[in-house]
Chains A and B, each alone.
Chain A
């Protein structure tokens, strides 16, 4: 009869799982500022244009703030993240291609 043995799970918790409790819900879109971080892949700028227009005309969003990265494969600079955190109630990042 074969017995059992204890072995370790080699994975580690995702940081997102730790942060899940701090997730906030927006009660409305009217009057807020929305940011877009454009990953610079082709056509994402057009998608962000359209979404921005829609958010302002249909949902009453006050302003749209845009940042376009020079390349998709780099992180958004910290000063841009800080600026968008100050200016925006909601930031949308994309991976359009």
Chain B
């Protein structure tokens, strides 16, 4: 049994036993359902050594509860998740990114949709931390991918107070709510990396967050670029999508083989976005009658009168379709639909 008492510094006294400590965290709803590393004073001190920022500096107030994310409180959650001190600058940038108004964390964390934060790392830091951008980059097995993504979700729950079943109202949620993090396979990409596309220097490192509703694997062996795009576009269209409801900003994780086919056909990333935007227009009547009424509420200012035959674009503009090149060998890409009322945010990682 864990007997605990909290003092003013936020420290709680508990029986020095890993099972008792985990029982305490479970009882207080301070974890994600998996065992945690106890954030002792010594471990948190070691984690704080990973950043030059003052321990009491406020990085952000994290929605929906708007808990105060100090550098130290980020470090506490980083320890819980199993992070290393070198992950701290990525976590600080990620907290800044999820707290930007356009990410709309207040809605992402409280919606009945499965949405959560997908964390993408670009630039030299990804290699320095040994992140996985290749085979199984969205799966298990890489320490940095797994623990950085987990820490961001623990921060959303513990500092943002998005407790599942309480302020987090997700009807089912998704496995990505445990962890959802990868880096871009910049070496295998035929195009400029995401952060350079967004105006950062290639030698800078960045974190990008996306309000992702899940992942859909797309297998296509086609070598003809236009036919490949047709199949990808068809796979992105579904009538129950939040992106069509409100004009979203969905993402694609293109496998390097698919990206190469498109590049060899002379297509830039902007060309791919423009073609997909045209090919993913969906007839409004495919939405349910009630959901079409919501689409009219949400998109009439953007699209004018919406009839049954109106072709709904998946996003207000082609550029709002996000493209990341990641993964290893294989003829697969991944569609990442989003919450819709959210825009991805990129922040520099200050090393």
Give the secondary structure class of A's interface: loop
CB of B219 within 8 Å of the partner chain: no
* Pairwise interchain contact A7-B17, C-beta atoms closer than 8 A: no
- B16 / chain A contacts, CB cutoff of 8 Å: 2-5
A-B contact count (CB 8 A): 110
- B61 / chain A contacts, CB cutoff of 8 Å: 15
* Pairwise interchain contact B161-A7, C-beta atoms closer than 8 A: no
* Pairwise interchain contact B246-A11, C-beta atoms closer than 8 A: no
| Contact A5:B14 (CB < 8 A) given known A70-B297, A70-B298, A74-B341 | yes
| The one of A9, A10, A16, A40 that contacts B65, using a Cβ cutoff of 8 Å | A16
CB of B339 within 8 Å of the partner chain: yes
CB of B244 within 8 Å of the partner chain: no
| Contact A73:B10 (CB < 8 A) given known A7-B21, A14-B161, A15-B65 | no
Binary A-proximity of B96-127 (CB < 8 A = 1, otherwise 0): 00000100101100010000000000000000
How many residues does chain A have at the interface if contact means C-beta atoms less than 8 Å apart? 23
CB of B158 within 8 Å of the partner chain: yes
The segment out of B35-43, B280-288, B329-337 that lies at the interface is: B35-43
Give the secondary structure class of B's interface: mixed
Binary A-proximity of B235-266 (CB < 8 A = 1, otherwise 0): 00000000001100000000000000000000
Binary A-proximity of B36-77 (CB < 8 A = 1, otherwise 0): 001111001000000000000000011001111110010011
Interface residues of A in 48-76 (CB under 8 A from B): 70-75
- A5 / chain B contacts, CB cutoff of 8 Å: 13-16, 21, 38, 40
Instruction: Please list 5 pairs of residues, one from A and one from B, whose beta carbons are closer than 8 Å in the complex, sorted by A's number.
Output: A8-B12, A9-B10, A9-B12, A12-B69, A15-B67
Binding site for B on A (CB under 8 A): 2-16, 40, 42, 70-75
Binding site for A on B (CB under 8 A): 6-7, 10-17, 21, 24, 28, 30, 38-41, 44, 61-62, 65-70, 73, 76-77, 79-80, 101, 104, 106-107, 111, 154, 158-159, 161, 245-246, 290, 293-294, 297-298, 301, 339-341
